[in-house]
Structures are given as structure tokens and as C-alpha cells.
Amino acid sequence: MLTLALAKNCRVGFSTCLHHARQMAVCKIHVLQTQQIVMEHMSLQTPQEYLSIPFAHVAVQKLHSTGIVLKPEGQNSNILPIKGKPPSGQMKKGRFEFFSVRSLLSSPGPYMLYGLGGLIPFMSAPFYMYLTGEFNPSIAQAQLVYGACILSFLGGVSWGNHLNRTEKASLQSLSYSILLPLIAWPAVLLYPNPISFLTMTGGIVYAGVRDTGTLSYPRWFKNLRFLLSTLVAISLSATLVFKFTLKSGEDDASSNYN
């Protein structure tokens, strides 16, 4: 009897262990399936990128914004179109919720260094004019040309981002990359007309709003873009204000518009 009881207990224990092992295997499969779905829809390339994101916040937002959710266990498919509106508090597609200093400070060093360094030509122009008390048309033109280079570069960033995506690119999805150089070019040609600075500032602001609403970009990048675009727009606006408020240090065609 004792032998039979021990055998029965061993069989129950083995069945319990087997059941738990099967549950762990199923959970692992669901985790891997979830990771694959998130990586595909967030254009992530490596598992390290997947592990670096705040999954509960970013991944769920991305899945809801693209119209899919994980189906409960026991159903045939892993994804299902969402019916109705996303849950309250979820980030809608293209929306930049708020500026986070903590997220900004988490930016990788090289991106932060080059990004802030790129502000020097923008901010030094109005700063020099403020110190000298004169509007310098040559410096203003140099600032405008530099802005055209940066705006075209931002178009290239968007173009490169599409190369890493799994879905096929379309004319509509690539049009933003082409639009930015087409804004920068006439802005340079319009100088010394004040409209040139308005055009360039509008292009910078538009690019900043568009990039901060791109869900495939990491959060630190969107916060960095928000900061840089804001400071660039302020610098260009300051130069435009000095054009009308300071005396011109050079005689050029810009005097025709004063």
C-alpha cells in the first residue's frame, strides 16, 4: 500500500511538473510572438532595441495606433483589428504627448553632441547682430543657407528611416522627404526678401512637428528634435526681427524690403 501511495504521489507530482513546464513553454511562445509583432510594427531591427523600449508604454501605444491588439489565448490569430476608439490615455498616431527632460537626457552622446553643435551657426548669427547692434546681411544669408542644408538633411533622415521598414514605401510616404528640400530651395532663392526667413522657419517647424509625431522614432530622438527645432525657429525669427529693428551694416538688395 505504501508503495502504491508513493507511486501515485510521484505520478501526480510528475503530472504537475509537466503541466507547469507546458505552461511555461506556452508563455515563452506568446512572449516571442509578442516580441516579433512589436518589432515588425515598430521597425525594430534587433532584440536589443526591443528590450530598450518601455514595453508597457510604447509597444501597446504602437499596436493600438496601427489598429491591432493581441488576441486572448485560445483564439486562432495573434492579432485582431481594434473596434472602436483606442483606450483612453493611449497616444494617437502622429501625436507627441509631452516634452520629457528625462527622455531628452537619455539621448546617446553622439546624437546630443552633434545636435547641439548644429545649433551654433543658427544661434551665433542673431547673437552677433545683437552684440554689434547692426544687421549683417551676409551673416543672415549664411544662416539661411545653412538652414537649407539642415532642412534637406532632415528629409534624408526620413528617407533613410523608410529604408529600414519592412513594408513597401509609397509615393505618399516618401513625399515628406522630398518636400523639405523643395521648401529650402525657394527660401534661399527668395533672399533678401523677408519671406525667405518665414519660409525657412515654417519648414523647420513643420519638420519638427512631423518628426515628433513619427512613432517609429525613439522617444529620446523626438524630444531632441523638439528642442532643436524650437531653438532653430527662435534663432531664425530673431534674425528676421533684427532685419527691421537694427540698422544695416552693409548696403545690399535687402534695403529694398526695409
pLDDT above 70 coverage of the chain, percent: 59
User: Is 37:54 a contact under the CB 8 Å cutoff?
Assistant: no
Would you say 34 and 47 are in contact if contact means Cβ atoms under 8 Å apart?
Answer: no
Q: Choose among 70, 93, 97: nearest CA to 81.
A: 70
Most confident of 13-27, 46-60, 83-97, 102-116: 102-116
* Bridge partners, 247 (sequence order): 134
pLDDT > 70? residue 158: yes
Helices 120-132 and 219-245: angle between axes, nearest 10 degrees: 30
pLDDT of 151 > 60? The answer is yes
Of 76-80, 195-199, 213-217, give the range with the top mean pLDDT. 195-199
Full-model pTM: 0.61
C-alpha cell at 197: 526667413
pLDDT of residue 28: 53
- Judged by average pLDDT, the poorest of 16-20, 45-49, 103-107, 162-166 is 45-49
Per this entry, what is the length of the chain?
A: 258
Q: What is the pLDDT of residue 77?
A: 42
138 Cβ contact list (under 8 Å, min separation 6): 250
